[in-house]
Structure 1
Amino acid sequence: MTGAGIAAGTDLSDLAFWRRPVAERDAAFRRLRALAHPAGYREMPRPGGTENTFYALVRHSDVVEASRHPEVFSSAGEGATPRTPAGFAEYFGSMINMDDPRHARLRTVVSRAFTPKLVARLRSYISTTAERLVAELAAAGPCDFVAHVAAPMPLEVICELVGVPERHRPFVLERSNTALSGVDPDYVPDPGQAAGVLLGAVRDLHALAQDLAAHRRRQPGDDLISLLTGPGRDGDRLTAAEIGSFFILLLVAGNETTRHAISGGLVLLTNNPGQRVLLQRDFDQYGATAVEEVVRCASPVNYMARQLTRDHKLRGRTLRAGERVRLYYRSANRDEAVFFRPDEFDVARRPNPHVAFGGPGPHFCLGAHLARTEMTALFGKLLRTLPEVHATGTPERLVSSFINGIKRLPCAPR
């Protein structure tokens, strides 16, 4: 770790930092934002690799700059996601770890599959699912909000979108929980076995997607996999391997992150009763801005990584070609230079240029609109049907440097 990081009293490369309470982490990032230059840290090497340095981009302006210039801050090379053993590359070869032109080609193929017919059907399904989950919560009484609402809502939507049969959905939830757990002891009891456990979960999900694709080539439906396996107007289609990798990306970007934003939203509404009352009185007026504020405050993805393609000066520090940076979204979303009273939850916040869906540029989240639609439908139904629903205890957080998640959240519907 460089001197700047030591002076700040943090070590972002140490999992112990990510076990600390959220308030302590936010305070550490506040100190890092005050530094004149980005702090550098040792990055854990892949097995058999060499130790490298990454620089922490913690200011909003730094994250935006890196996001807007993919020709300098590359998502390819060693990838945008956390470093993993070489065997993972086969399963994480998705858009998130690519630059143009490969990234542009895949994004174009995927985007064209979101036809008006598919989007309309999905909107109806989202509304019906939100209504059912809220009714089940009311009947359940005191329970775990994650298990009963936050986890099933986005999972069912993604599975419906992709075309995963009902019988496979519990398996998808269990395998995706493990694949994105980092080294959380609930999912990986023995850290020494982490690579094998995570790789097994990812391999299973990849194989399921390929099996579904093979079935849909023989019997097409009106789901996303059917549309992606069939040729478009230009004859281009995704390969079986690309579909497997895209399915894993959907589980990260469309399922896991929305799940943690929903859980974080209940915590925020519980801890800010004045804002809750404002939202309940006029959800039509504040629903959209409230969802953006929930996403900003929750910031479900801690960071994404980039690799320098050439030397580049950022805030007085020259970053060298081949070095890596991490774009810390939660820190950027609390930047005092951009957000008024950034640590406060304000359902009416405007403007709200948060980067929780990624900064501006080609890697802005393709599923952002879907996530917003899900959260608006769910919180609207939740607050109208169960106006007193609240968290009854402290959220139990996932131990991960990558995902800012909540594993369990006790709640009561009344």
Structure 2
Amino acid sequence: MPKYAPDDDIKLSELTFWMRPLDERAEAFARLRAEGTPRLYPDPQVPFAKPGDGYWALVRHADVLEASRKPQIFSSEPNATTVIDPPAFVQRYVNSMINMDDPRHAKIRRIVSRAFSPRMLAKAEDDVQARATRIVDELIATGPGDFVEKVAARLPVEIICDMLGIPDTLYPRVLRLTNIVLGNADPEYTGVTPEMGRIRTGLGMAKVALASRELHRLAAKLGRERMGRDTGDLTSALVNANVDGEKLTAREFGTFFLLLVVAGNETTRTAIAHGLKLFTDNPEQRELLLEDFDGRIAGAVEEIIRISTPVITFRRNLTQDYEMNGHTYRKGDKVLLFYNSANRDESVFTDPDTFDITRSPNPHVGFGGPGPHFCLGANLARREITVMFKELFTRLPDIRAAGEPDRLVSSFINGYKRLPCTFTVP
């Protein structure tokens, strides 16, 4: 039997750990970083899936970087997004390029990169400004309320849906489905409560499969409508792309479509919501930003991403024996890259728990570590966060969080479901 982590209060495989206050979680990871060797944790018990021999928790910045830079050793196959390989009825919908190594990953990335043409990216940048302006117009008209619903959740989902050619009447549906896919452990989104016992996880998986299937069907419908036609949107570019004879299969298009609407929505939404809370809790940083917004917003965006780390973790799988940081990993081992911990590593970041928009350098891994899986949408996310806060702080300079957020129950996304805000109407 594997020798698992000591039975203390740092139970990374239990959802109760991820429901603890953020400062308690940060303190727990600081303790893990201070230990001499990585900990081995047992796999969570998941219905319909066979647990393995556990996973090693990589919590140091240097280890996360090294694993990210060596995909031939730290593989994303067969799965990079969950600790346990999901059953086939889920995997068929979510097995996107994020769960692939080269050459399959490189093929899809080539096709996708060609689809993101300069014309399309320029249109997206213009659209970010127009939509941010309209969102703040409507926020002023309706008054204070839930910042997530009124602002943070709206901008990224509208941008990605517009890029894909999804009609605006479907935006609420897309948001609901992506909430289920990424909020699969949260009873609010799945209807599955802790009182349901072990079957809870299985029911949550079924909900994820149904939501993913619905998004695939939406992708298939849009793809059929655009096959052989240039409608100027990303769906048209993807289904008609042909790069040196390579094309996306129907399933590859469906899984990439799902990846875009999920990742393109949730991570930026999380960063914008955390950003308002961070500027509220650190008014001196808000004043610093407003003194020279254009000169300091780039650094502020990176620091928001570092502190909030919207995506907490990804998994890698050892293809061979490998020694790193004094520990030997064996072929077949699983590791989890804890980006949230790497972004607070005291050996890299001075005063890592301090929100400092002037921090430089800021080598955070909030968009993933270096290597082939670095976030494809990082620049768009930066643009959305920049434009949204410029619009907010220019027109509503006293906007602030009014109370504590309602946090998402998740070990994968560091999200806010709701965040009350207040401001003076100009």
Give the TM-score taking structure 1 as reference length. Answer: 0.97
Q: Equivalent residue of 1:205, what SS? A: helix
Preserved contact between residue 38 and residue 315 of structure 1 (Cα < 8 Å) = no
Q: Are residue 74 (structure 1) and residue 84 (structure 2) matched?
A: no
Q: 2:350: which partner in 1?
A: 340
Q: Which runs of 5+ in 2 are unaligned?
A: 194-199
Counterpart mapping for 1:20-169 below 5 A: 20-44=20-44, 47-83=48-84, 84-169=86-171
Q: 2:269: which partner in 1?
A: 259
| Alignment-mate amino acid for residue 340 of structure 2 | R
* Aligned CA distance change for structure 1 residues 216 and 254 (closer, same or farther; 3 Å): same
Aligned counterparts of 1:82 and 1:122: Cα–Cα separation in 2: 34
Counterpart mapping for 1:355-366 below 5 A: 355-366=365-376
Aligned counterparts of 1:50 and 1:144: Cα–Cα separation in 2: 39
Counterpart mapping for 1:206-355 below 5 A: 206-355=216-365
Residue-by-residue CA offset, 1:277-321 (whole Å, 9 max, x unaligned): 010111110011100111111101110001100111122221111
Residue 247 of structure 1 and its aligned partner are, at CA, apart by 1.4
| Alignment-mate amino acid for residue 246 of structure 2 | D
Aligned counterparts of 1:120 and 1:354: Cα–Cα separation in 2: 27
Q: 2:9: which partner in 1?
A: 9
| Alignment-mate amino acid for residue 135 of structure 2 | L
Aligned counterparts of 2:293 and 2:122: Cα–Cα separation in 1: 22
Q: Equivalent residue of 1:304, what SS? A: strand
Residue-by-residue CA offset, 1:189-229 (whole Å, 9 max, x unaligned): 22522121111111101111111111111543111111111
Residue 45 of structure 1 and its aligned partner are, at CA, apart by 5.2
Give the TM-score taking structure 2 as reference length. Answer: 0.94
| Alignment-mate amino acid for residue 171 of structure 2 | R
Q: Are residue 389 (structure 1) and residue 391 (structure 2) matched?
A: no
Of residues 212-221 and 281-290 in structure 1, the stretch that sits farther from structure 2 once superposed is 212-221
Among 413, 416, 424, the alignment partner of 1:406 is 416
Aligned counterparts of 1:78 and 1:114: Cα–Cα separation in 2: 26
Task: Name segments (4+ residues, structure 1) moved above 4 Å.
Answer: 1-4
Q: 1:377: which partner in 2?
A: 387
Preserved contact between residue 271 and residue 305 of structure 2 (Cα < 8 Å) = yes
Residue 82 of structure 1 and its aligned partner are, at CA, apart by 4.3
Residue 238 of structure 1 and its aligned partner are, at CA, apart by 1.4
Aligned counterparts of 1:57 and 1:270: Cα–Cα separation in 2: 32
Aligned counterparts of 1:145 and 1:329: Cα–Cα separation in 2: 26
Aligned counterparts of 1:75 and 1:149: Cα–Cα separation in 2: 34
Aligned counterparts of 1:50 and 1:389: Cα–Cα separation in 2: 47
Residue 8 of structure 1 and its aligned partner are, at CA, apart by 5.9
Quote the RMSD (CA, aligned, Å).
1.6
| Alignment-mate amino acid for residue 17 of structure 1 | F
Preserved contact between residue 44 and residue 52 of structure 1 (Cα < 8 Å) = no
Aligned counterparts of 1:82 and 1:214: Cα–Cα separation in 2: 35
| Alignment-mate amino acid for residue 44 of structure 2 | M
| Alignment-mate amino acid for residue 79 of structure 1 | A
Preserved contact between residue 90 and residue 208 of structure 2 (Cα < 8 Å) = no
Of residues 91-100 and 78-87 in structure 1, the stretch that sits farther from structure 2 once superposed is 78-87
Counterpart mapping for 1:190-201 below 5 A: 190-191=192-193, 192=200, 193-201=203-211
Residue 139 of structure 1 and its aligned partner are, at CA, apart by 1.8
Aligned residues between the structures: 414
Of residues 266-275 and 88-97 in structure 1, the stretch that sits farther from structure 2 once superposed is 88-97
Residue 413 of structure 1 and its aligned partner are, at CA, apart by 2.5
Preserved contact between residue 253 and residue 365 of structure 1 (Cα < 8 Å) = no
Preserved contact between residue 299 and residue 404 of structure 1 (Cα < 8 Å) = yes
Preserved contact between residue 321 and residue 331 of structure 2 (Cα < 8 Å) = yes
Residue 78 of structure 1 and its aligned partner are, at CA, apart by 3.4
Aligned counterparts of 2:83 and 2:139: Cα–Cα separation in 1: 35
Preserved contact between residue 2 and residue 39 of structure 1 (Cα < 8 Å) = no
Aligned counterparts of 1:102 and 1:90: Cα–Cα separation in 2: 16
Q: Equivalent residue of 1:52, what SS? A: coil
Aligned counterparts of 1:229 and 1:266: Cα–Cα separation in 2: 38
Aligned counterparts of 2:122 and 2:251: Cα–Cα separation in 1: 28
Percent identity over paired residues: 50
Preserved contact between residue 107 and residue 246 of structure 2 (Cα < 8 Å) = no
* Aligned CA distance change for structure 1 residues 113 and 231 (closer, same or farther; 3 Å): closer
Aligned counterparts of 2:142 and 2:365: Cα–Cα separation in 1: 35
| Alignment-mate amino acid for residue 306 of structure 2 | R
Residue 2 of structure 1 and its aligned partner are, at CA, apart by 7.4
Q: Equivalent residue of 1:318, what SS? A: strand
